[in-house]
Structure 1
């Protein structure tokens, strides 16, 4: 597979800028998750890369070959990009096998070139080749769409929110099958999504598009632990934001004197704590009298099976409300008195 290089990519519609000078690199064999809220420009960027739209400025190289540049717009069919749309978009009048080979030369279509191999690659039995798309589940149709995208051995695979129409259980199963297939081929791929958990679980790297600008590209772990803005912190998972004061390499806030993950200038800040960092102690717990723990009352519990979201009101200072996340079997009851402490390092942002 190939590498992708984007430099200064711009696009406007009716005079309204949608993409502002995007710079992005995707190394060979990498699955990049392109994450952003609705209206951030994700779909526009995908359409520019696929050649469905013309860029207003900037350049795109795929495996060292320019496909977008000054007075250059290589047509979609000449870019060797595999494209998986949101709902598979299989041809209902063709069999699964005929769908897979649809984009191949005539001789390979007749020979059903690599159909059994590609079906196995995406986790489907070879005899599915004779079925009609209507006989498959939504997740199976998405796997066939991926097999069709991989059939011509493309230089790059683009996935446009391919799991958004699936129910939760089928979405997880299909994600795993698609990720395994891409890894088995060593494919370079870009997954466009607004689903944070999808981006964090599938992407080797995650690039965040925000109001048409690329604001952070990082590993999933770095993006989650060290988001560059407080807005991004709240978008990529839940975030508890509290006022604090930085002194040297620590920050003081209503949850205690906490270590910082990265250095920041002295003074007033907003402290970001992830809910799962907040530990709850009951009366019977050994550390209930720990001086680093703070009194709180449970005001609400949202039980979600394997875990639970807990809303708490601090019993000191301004009686701030915070949210914790605990294992489901440890969820407390509304009205219960607990003590809180924070595990690990926290991130801080200069106060605006």
Structure 2
């Protein structure tokens, strides 16, 4: 059973449409990552779901109960939604415990209802209950904000880019702790983010908003390997795009005849593959006549430690350059000649 059902949701501001007929379902216990570039409508959708804004049309059902529809707009406090904002927004004059129980009935606030349990759930010691928020790191404050959101046992938890203000190392540690806490609580959650790696690593499913429209919702691996448009392919990770044709069920381009991950009608296309699909090796005695192997020259290298991005110029088609991603321990030098071949299926997009 879906915990969240959205049908035909639209929203405009001053005559400018921001959301265009959004249809989306989130199954119970799922962490959905809502991904999109700035201006795509992510924050507006979150605000409409939380009840901060009224939808122009469409319906929203949470846990089988309609909260928005024609002539219906339940206020935020009646929707049983936990909300974690970007900065945590803890009250500085309250202790950690008092922040956690802030939204509970008075008797439960006095009893510090489930404070120790919730701190343990988000990976913090029970001894932190009496600390002030200012005594915690940014990541710890975000965990307390999650504990506060989970305290009333909400039907749905909304997270609005909660890791964006943290440094890289703390961001990874905190988001994993948050994901573990949500899973342990069995919570249904929607994570709003513009960070592709965050969406792919945390989301059980990823929904992509593009100019106010939901263009794809899929598991992270399907979204990455089979994006529905060339624009989405370039937004979610790095993409190599080459002109080609679909012939007899395969994509034919300067990298040879490549299998299609998704069937496509015959005709001129742009062929998309990921840089890590390009395997390179020292040229040695190989020639471009070897089946599936092509000669290339390295024209630039960006080294990142664990891996490297390698710019390549094809010997047989020097007007085309492409990028491969290789392990850091195997990083060729600029000017080196290498052989390359493609592993796995590719995706084709019809040319306009």
Q: Smaller-chain TM-score range?
A: over 0.9
Structure 2 residue 268 is matched with structure 1 residue 268: yes
Once the two structures are superposed, the pairs formed by residues 23-34 of structure 1 within 5 Å of their partners are: 23-34=23-34
TM-score using structure 2 length: 0.98
The Cα RMSD (Å) is 1.4
Q: CA deviation at 1:295?
A: 1.1
Report what 2:279 is aligned to: 279
TM-fit CA distance, 1:289: 7.5
Matched, 1:63 2:63: yes
2:220 is the counterpart of 1:181: no
Q: Is the partner of 1:162 in helix, strand or coil?
A: coil
Pairwise mapping of residues 91-106 of structure 1 onto structure 2 (< 5 A)?
Answer: 91-106=91-106
Asked if the contact 2:283–2:295 (Cα under 8 Å) also holds between the matched residues in 1, the reply is no
Q: Distance in 2 between the 1:31 and 1:285 partners?
A: 50
Q: What is the correspondence of 1:221-232 to structure 2 with a 5 Å cutoff?
A: 221-232=221-232
* 1:125-144 → structure 2 map (5 Å cutoff): 125-144=125-144
Q: Please give the alpha-carbon distance, in whole angstroms, between the structure 2 residues aligned to 1:89 and 1:97.
A: 14
Q: How does 1:232-251 map to 2 (within 5 A)?
A: 232-251=232-251
Report the counterpart of residue 313 of structure 1 in structure 2.
313
Shift of 1:245: 1.0
Contact 1:2 1:155 in 2 (8 A): no
Q: Which residue of 1 aligns with 2:47?
A: 47
Q: Is the 8 A contact 1:270 1:351 kept in 2?
A: yes
Q: Secondary structure at the match of 1:34?
A: strand
Tell me, in whole angstroms, the C-alpha distance in 2 between the residues paired with 1:238 and 1:114. 44
Unaligned runs of 5+ in 1: none
What is the rounded CA distance, in whole Å, between the counterparts of 2:18 and 2:144 in structure 1? 32
Q: State the distance in 1 between where 2:183 and 2:277 align.
A: 32
Count of aligned pairs between the two proteins: 352
Structure 1 runs of 4+ aligned residues shifted over 6 Å read 285-289
Matched, 1:190 2:195: no
Distance in 2, matches of 1:85 and 1:252, equals 48
What CA distance in whole angstroms lies between the structure 2 residues aligned with 1:99 and 1:302? 45
Distance 1:288 1:2 in 2: 53
Look up the SS of the partner of 1:3 in the other structure.
strand
| Alignment partners' CA distance in 2, 1:264 and 1:124 | 51
Compute the displacement of 1:249 (Å).
Answer: 1.6
Q: Describe the SS at the equivalent of 1:232.
A: helix
Is the 8 Å Cα contact of residues 34 and 191 (structure 1) preserved in structure 2?
yes
> Which residue in the other structure is 1:295 paired with?
295
